[in-house]
A and B are shown apart, each in its own frame.
Chain A
């Protein structure tokens, strides 16, 4: 299927010339969201780059109904909004569109609360692996050793938190990872998620040119390299099982993975890595694949219910 055929809705998401940086990953993600769910979605946006991308009144940067909310409130606001729609019989899909900070850090308690109540909402975390809107500070999902403005010399000293796995532990019906480098995969996941009721969570990988220090034209290329090196694994949890998604299947076998250096070398935030560091990152990638394999087996065997 061609990208042109993505379009299912009248409302298209981001509008040309909005205030996003050139080659912004959020714009790509929002475009797919708009095309797939635009007619039915009401989008709750906590503080982050998207608050800016939405445009300065009286202009609009995004052609979608958007409720802007405080940084740490999206999960609860969306729950309340959905409750109102349930009371009044309004057929709307409530979508949270959040950054990594708004979901995995400051907004985590409220996200976790909404998940454990199995609220009938879709949460998309567009993860650019730092607090970009405030100028690239390290967040809970910033990877080990990445340079940010709050880890400016030695890089981040801690590992990143795996928010999708954490959400899976809430026993919600749908969890997936996605990437702005694979729009059709993201589209299919959104469509599948939209047919399920309950709490649905999509962790979208969103490489950010100014934040990661790479050339603007390379957003999609970098996103693809993350998948091709195995550093970002596309998977989907549905009906109680995890499946590796099509674009990632090949990379279950280490032999097919590109060396992670291919992914890291374009990014200024990794300019300080030593060869040992790169080896260590590669080992972590192997470990992630092993872990997800074990986890898939455990789910399949029914040992975890």
Chain B
């Protein structure tokens, strides 16, 4: 069904897709050469769909059915070393099982793209979402984005190739989407044409290296300690440059789809806000609803949605955070013995500028609705206005019965 014109490109195709299928469609449009993956809920549908596309000939790619997630990432590592554009996907225990390979990929500067359908880590066994899995790999040198809805998960996947393969970046990307809430929920999405994507995303260039026979050449061999540190320094700088590339790609993508999200962050009603909420992922939709309702009641509150936690949008956090009276960070992952993962990062940036409060909620998929967010935000504002000590280290846990730990 062809429903509407894109901003400057050709027709888009409106379809109603669940997040997992939307990701597979993005991978197909990116003309990926090699796919390897291992099943785990809630990611499985992505790789089943891709297997079907490859089997039916709809997608001209190699599909490697491996024995584990460690092997899945190893296989796409090998293919990427051979010059291919690659894709894998996983969740939770699968991502943890890949941990060693994650570092090998990023330290080799290969532009691998992976979807992480977020899911809690056991025990107890739990297939529902929180952000603990994706945030466990925060320091590994991967670019890590969190989508809010199905269309954004689709867009972020396509954009990940453009960003990761950019000469200024050459780092792998994770596209995180909330398990079930996005992966299994159908939403309408406008899919750009293959011609438009081909024009915008040309085949991968042979960077940063391609293994070839006939030449003595080693990748990953020993070096002096100073070389290791120098290579880390290059990654550090590439991550810095990635901030700019992410913003550019977000902007140019508008030419094809009319869609643009604001780059590293999305700013929702922040311009005149006294209080700023920060968070990531699908529940930002509910937080926006809560903000609309609170605005109707006269509260001047806005949302700074962190789209990418790596590279972290430090400048945006400072810009909007330090303008406001106080900042509330709502986390779906916790660093035990410290606090909410995002709250810790935001607090360290805004230290001495703006008080920050951290709330931990929704672990193991505990459902959070806009009414819950209204309560949390109201209480936070009340505490601030009553002159109570807003200190993120007093992390609140929002428990299932609505009580606070």
- Residues of A in contact with B (beta carbons under 8 Å apart): 10-11, 39-42, 44, 51-52, 54-58, 60, 62-70, 72-73, 75-88, 90-93, 109-110, 112-113, 117
Q: What 10 A-B pairs are tightest by C-beta distance, nearest first?
A: A84-B82, A80-B78, A113-B67, A68-B220, A76-B74, A76-B71, A80-B79, A77-B78, A73-B74, A80-B75
B157 at the interface (CB under 8 A from A): no
Residues in A with CB closer than 8 Å to B77 are: 69, 73, 76-77, 80
- Nearest CB in chain B to that of A74: its residue: B74
Contacts A69-B104, A80-B36, A117-B64; A54 near B222 (Cβ below 8 A): yes
User: How far apart are the CA atoms of A83 and B65 in the complex, in Å?
Assistant: 12
B56 at the interface (CB under 8 A from A): no
Cβ A92 vs Cβ B212 within 8 A: yes
Residue in B65, B83, B100 whose CB lies within 8 Å of A88: B83
User: How far apart are the CA atoms of A57 and B219 in the complex, in Å?
Assistant: 10
- Nearest CB in chain B to that of A75: its residue: B71
- Nearest CB in chain B to that of A19: its residue: B222
Residues in B with CB closer than 8 Å to A62 are: 216, 218
Chain B, residues 96-138, CB within 8 Å of chain A (1/0): the string is 0000110010000000000000000000000000000000000
B84 at the interface (CB under 8 A from A): yes
User: How far apart are the CA atoms of A66 and B338 in the complex, in Å?
Assistant: 43
- Nearest CB in chain A to that of B213: its residue: A92
Cβ A80 vs Cβ B216 within 8 A: no
Cβ B62 vs Cβ A42 within 8 A: no
- Nearest CB in chain B to that of A71: its residue: B100
Kindly provide the distance from the CB of B284 to the nearest chain A CB, expressed in whole angstroms.
35
User: How far apart are the CA atoms of A201 and B79 in the complex, in Å?
Assistant: 21
Residue in B33, B64, B71, B211 whose CB lies within 8 Å of A73: B71
Cβ A11 vs Cβ B214 within 8 A: yes
Chain B, residues 213-254, CB within 8 Å of chain A (1/0): the string is 111111111111001000000000000000000000000000
User: How far apart are the CA atoms of A47 and B266 in the complex, in Å?
Assistant: 43
- Residues of B in contact with A (beta carbons under 8 Å apart): 33-34, 36, 61-62, 64-68, 70-72, 74-84, 86, 100-101, 104, 211-224, 227
Cβ A65 vs Cβ B213 within 8 A: yes
Known: A67-B81, A80-B75. 4 other contacts (CB 8 A): A42-B211, A73-B74, A76-B66, A110-B68
Residue in B66, B71, B222, B224 whose CB lies within 8 Å of A55: B222
Residues in B with CB closer than 8 Å to A78 are: 78
Residues in A with CB closer than 8 Å to B217 are: 65-66
Residues in B with CB closer than 8 Å to A11 are: 214-216
User: How far apart are the CA atoms of A80 and B74 in the complex, in Å?
Assistant: 8
Residues in A with CB closer than 8 Å to B62 are: 83, 86-87
Residues in B with CB closer than 8 Å to A40 are: 213-214
Residues in B with CB closer than 8 Å to A41 are: 213
Residues in A with CB closer than 8 Å to B65 are: 117
Residues in B with CB closer than 8 Å to A88 are: 33, 82-84
Cβ A73 vs Cβ B67 within 8 A: no
Contacts A88-B82, A110-B74; A80 near B213 (Cβ below 8 A): no
Indicate the member of A83, A93, A113 with the most B CB atoms within 10 Å.
Answer: A83
Contacts A84-B34, A84-B83, A93-B213; A67 near B66 (Cβ below 8 A): no
User: How far apart are the CA atoms of A287 and B66 in the complex, in Å?
Assistant: 36
User: How far apart are the CA atoms of A91 and B223 in the complex, in Å?
Assistant: 30
Cβ A56 vs Cβ B213 within 8 A: no
Kindly provide the distance from the CB of A47 to the nearest chain B CB, expressed in whole angstroms.
10
A-B contact pairs, 23 of them (CB 8 A): A11-B215, A52-B222, A57-B224, A60-B218, A65-B217, A68-B218, A72-B100, A73-B71, A76-B74, A77-B81, A79-B66, A80-B36, A80-B76, A81-B79, A81-B211, A82-B82, A84-B34, A84-B84, A85-B82, A86-B62, A109-B71, A110-B66, A117-B64
Cβ B218 vs Cβ A69 within 8 A: no
- Nearest CB in chain A to that of B64: its residue: A79
Kindly provide the distance from the CB of B66 to the nearest chain A CB, expressed in whole angstroms.
5
Residues in B with CB closer than 8 Å to A68 are: 218-221
User: How far apart are the CA atoms of A63 and B221 in the complex, in Å?
Assistant: 13
- Nearest CB in chain B to that of A72: its residue: B70
User: How far apart are the CA atoms of A253 and B78 in the complex, in Å?
Assistant: 45
Residue in A54, A70, A85, A92 whose CB lies within 8 Å of B218: A54
- Nearest CB in chain B to that of A40: its residue: B213
User: How far apart are the CA atoms of A55 and B219 in the complex, in Å?
Assistant: 11
Residues in A with CB closer than 8 Å to B212 are: 42, 65, 90, 92
Cβ B214 vs Cβ A84 within 8 A: no
Contacts A40-B214, A64-B216; A55 near B36 (Cβ below 8 A): no
Residues in B with CB closer than 8 Å to A90 are: 82, 212-213
Residues in A with CB closer than 8 Å to B78 are: 44, 67, 69, 76-84
Residues in A with CB closer than 8 Å to B220 are: 67-69
Cβ A67 vs Cβ B74 within 8 A: no
Residue in A60, A67, A86, A87 whose CB lies within 8 Å of B216: A60
Cβ A80 vs Cβ B64 within 8 A: yes
- Nearest CB in chain B to that of A95: its residue: B213
Contacts A64-B216, A92-B213, A93-B213; A76 near B36 (Cβ below 8 A): yes
Cβ A81 vs Cβ B70 within 8 A: no
Residues in B with CB closer than 8 Å to A110 are: 66-68, 70-71, 74
Contacts A66-B219, A109-B68; A79 near B211 (Cβ below 8 A): no
Cβ B221 vs Cβ A55 within 8 A: yes
Residues in A with CB closer than 8 Å to B100 are: 70, 72-73
User: How far apart are the CA atoms of A73 and B66 in the complex, in Å?
Assistant: 11
- Nearest CB in chain B to that of A65: its residue: B217
Indicate the member of B70, B78, B80, B104 with the most A CB atoms within 10 Å.
Answer: B78
Cβ A77 vs Cβ B75 within 8 A: yes
- Nearest CB in chain B to that of A108: its residue: B67
Kindly provide the distance from the CB of B169 to the nearest chain A CB, expressed in whole angstroms.
21
Kindly provide the distance from the CB of A44 to the nearest chain B CB, expressed in whole angstroms.
7
Residue in A65, A72, A109 whose CB lies within 8 Å of B211: A65
